[in-house]
Amino acid sequence: MTYENLDAELVNELLGNGRASLRSLGEDLDVSVTTVSNHLRDLEDEGVVQGYTPVVDYDKLGYDVTAILQLKVEGSALPDITERLRQEKQMVSVYEVTGDYDVIAIGKFTDTDGMNDQIKTLLTDADIRESNTSVVLNAVTENEQFELDLQE
């Protein structure tokens, strides 16, 4: 077997089952357990594979309100604001972006009162010049990952 696609195939197998054993990965990819182990270690060392975590359905745990916050921030305060948002446990994604706003943050909340309280607390920061909050009505797709293309 040639190994030109092995790393991509290994990533794709892990996307299908992150708990797969080295033995089953080797069988599926038609390579030895040692080869799988070496390639997987390299992918981890390079930061391509950063961990093996469960996919949690927060809606089923009562966090059924998703809010998208868009913030305009004073330029020098951007790192402080993004770090503060990153440390908020209910913020699942924080992005520095181009366009009309500087930051987009996505949070999960148990109810609109909790969401409102957290947003009001954030907005007391003088470095946040403007905000826009959208509440998600329906998550069509969320937390999706995609398989890598294989070289032909």
Specify the fold of 58-135: Alpha-Beta Plaits (3.30.70)
- In 3D space, the residue among 32, 37, 31 whose CA is nearest the CA of residue 49 turns out to be 37
Q: How far apart are CA 44 and CA 48, in angstroms?
A: 6
pLDDT in tens, the chain (152 residues): 567 799 999 999 999 899 999 999 999 999 999 999 999 999 999 999 999 888 889 999 999 999 999 999 998 999 999 999 999 999 999 999 999 999 999 999 999 999 999 989 988 999 999 999 999 999 999 988 899 998 87
CATH pick for 6-45 out of 1.10.10.10, 1.10.10.60, 3.40.50.2300, 3.40.50.720: 1.10.10.10
DSSP string for residues in 62-118? T--EEEEEEEEE-GGGHHHHHHHHHHSTTEEEEEE-SSS-SEEEEEEESSHHHHHHH
**What pTM value is reported for the model?**
0.82
Where are the chain's structural domains?
6-45, 58-135
